[in-house]
Amino acid sequence: MAQDRHRIILDCDPGQDDAIAILLALGSPDEIELLAITTVAGNVPLRLTELNARKILELAGRADIPVYKGCHRPLVEPLETAEYVHGETGLNGVDLPEPRMKLTEGHAVDAIIEIVMAAPAATITLCPTGPLTNIAMALLKEPELAARVKDIVLMGGAIGLGNVTPAAEFNIYVDPHAARVVFESGVPITMLGLDVTHQALVNRPRLEAIRALGTPVASAAAGLVDFFNRFDSDRYEVDGAPLHDPCVIAQLIDPTIFKGKPCHVAIETEGGSKGRTNVDWFPREQRVANATVINEMDADRFFALLTERLARL
Ligand code: RIB
Ligand code: CA
């Protein structure tokens, strides 16, 4: 029997890799029901992340999916953005038209609460691919949310080195207090951090396979990835950038592409290691695991899946 579809809310900060995650979800209707996109400040300010989400949905002909605007800054820290990676618009690499679709009325935090609380228990998956501000605010505002949501599958953190500081990955670094709320919530979490996403390098052959699809969506995706490649491939001196956020959606579509194990994850919120995810991988401390931490993937299978699903749009 076909598995039930994953009913998800994608909370994101587009961002080229967030955009590819949206497209992968849209190209996988047998496995993913994308209920809503909620947007948060991160890669670029909120006024751009919400606009970019609407641009990508219109590119894919899916203006029927609601987009909500969420938190414009982290819980405590000042907002730090990443135009140095994503460009001034957040979607540099493609020039998409102004969207005709409007934002859906209401705050993203309220939308997350309303959608989850209106659905049968344990049927909605939250998929954050940006800073965790909206998710944390929803957990704080609705005391029953943690017990009601099915799980959280997120891109963020690292077992090893960070990418903003040696200690911290961007999504957790930008809002470490929100990350602490989420990781201490008791909600089942699957964490896809840099250790695994850095195995999803979109090298030239993989990029050209996407471009060769020849559709407007694939051409736009190739343009986004081509731009996204330039910063990380120079910094890490590798052939291609890590395509972080689509790993979240791929993990839902085909979990066999990925490997990991339950670990305790603690979040540092202060000092030079602010934003660090301390993953007790071995484990050294006797604390109950609060996340399944993914550390391995089959990149060839991932890119084959991504290319095949983009071809459907
Ligand atoms: O560290 C990578 C993550 O930060 C990705 O989600 C990227 O889009 C940025 O949000
Ligand atoms: Ca992101």
Residue 287 has pLDDT above 50, yes or no: yes
Q: Tokens at residue 167, please?
A: 């200690």
Q: How sure is the predictor about 286, in pLDDT bands with cuts at 50, 70 and 90? A: confident
Tell me how far CA of residue 249 lies from CA of 18, 48, 76, 271, in angstroms: 10, 22, 29, 33
Ligand 1, atom 10: closest residue by C-alpha: 130
DSSP states along the chain: -PPPPEEEEEEE--SHHHHHHHHHHHT-TTTEEEEEEEE-SSSS-HHHHHHHHHHHHHHTT-TTS-EEE--SS-SSSPP---HHHH-SSS-TT--PPPPSSPPPSSBHHHHHHHHHHHSPTT-EEEEE-S-SHHHHHHHHH-TTHHHHS-EEEEE---SS--SSSSS--HHHHH-HHHHHHHHTS---EEEE-HHHHTT-EE-HHHHHHHHTT-SHHHHHHHHHHHHHHHHHHHHHTSSSEE--THHHHHHHH-GGGEEEEEEEEEE--SGGGTT-EEEE-S--S-----EEEEEEE-HHHHHHHHHHHHTT-
Catalytic: 244?
Answer: yes
Is the model's pLDDT at 3 over the cut of 70?
no
pLDDT reported for residue 1:
41
Name the band, by pLDDT with cuts 50, 70 and 90, for residue 256: very high
Q: How far is the CA of 151 from the centre of ligand 2 (A)?
A: 19
Ligand 2 center from residue 284 Cα (angstroms): 31
Model pLDDT, residue 232: 80
Q: Does residue 185's CB lie within 6 angstroms of at least one atom of ligand 1?
A: no
Q: Which residue has the higher pLDDT, 284 or 248?
A: 248
- The per-residue pLDDT for range 216-243, each reduced to its tens digit, is 999 999 999 999 988 787 777 778 899 9
**Nearest ligand 1 atom, CA 15:** 8
Q: Residue type at 65?
A: I
Whole-number Å distance, alpha carbon 286 to ligand 1 midpoint, is 31
Residues 6+ apart with CB under 8 A from 32: 5, 6, 8, 25, 249, 252, 253
Q: For residue range 7-66, list pLDDT tens digits in order.
A: 999 999 999 999 999 999 999 999 999 999 999 999 999 999 999 999 999 999 999 999
From the CA of 86, give the closest atom in ligand 1: 8
Question: Can you tell me the distance from the alpha carbon of 132 to that of 12, in angstroms, rounded to the nearest whole number?
Answer: 9
Q: How far is the CA of 130 from the centre of ligand 1 (A)?
A: 6
Mean pLDDT of the chain: 96
DSSP string over 20-82: HHHHHHHT-TTTEEEEEEEE-SSSS-HHHHHHHHHHHHHHTT-TTS-EEE--SS-SSSPP---
For residue 17, which atom of ligand 1 is closest to its CA?
Answer: 8
Supply the pLDDT for residue 284: 84
Ligand 1 pocket, residue 133 CB under 6 Å: no
Return residues with CB closer than 5 A to ligand 2 (ion).
13, 15, 18, 129-130, 245
Q: Which is the closest atom of ligand 1 to the Cα of 131?
A: 10
Alpha-carbon distance of 91 to 230, in angstroms, equals 13
| Averaged pLDDT for residues 201-221 | 97
Q: Is 125 in the pocket of ligand 1 (CB under 6 A)?
A: no
pTM (whole model) above 0.75: yes
Residue 210 has pLDDT above 60, yes or no: yes
Instruction: List the domain boundaries for the chain.
Output: 6-310
pLDDT per residue over 31-43, tens digit each?
999 999 999 999 9
Tally Cβ neighbours within 10 Å of residue 173: 24
CATH architecture label of 6-310: Alpha-Beta Complex (3.90)
Q: Quick check: CB of 169 below 6 Å from ligand 1?
A: yes
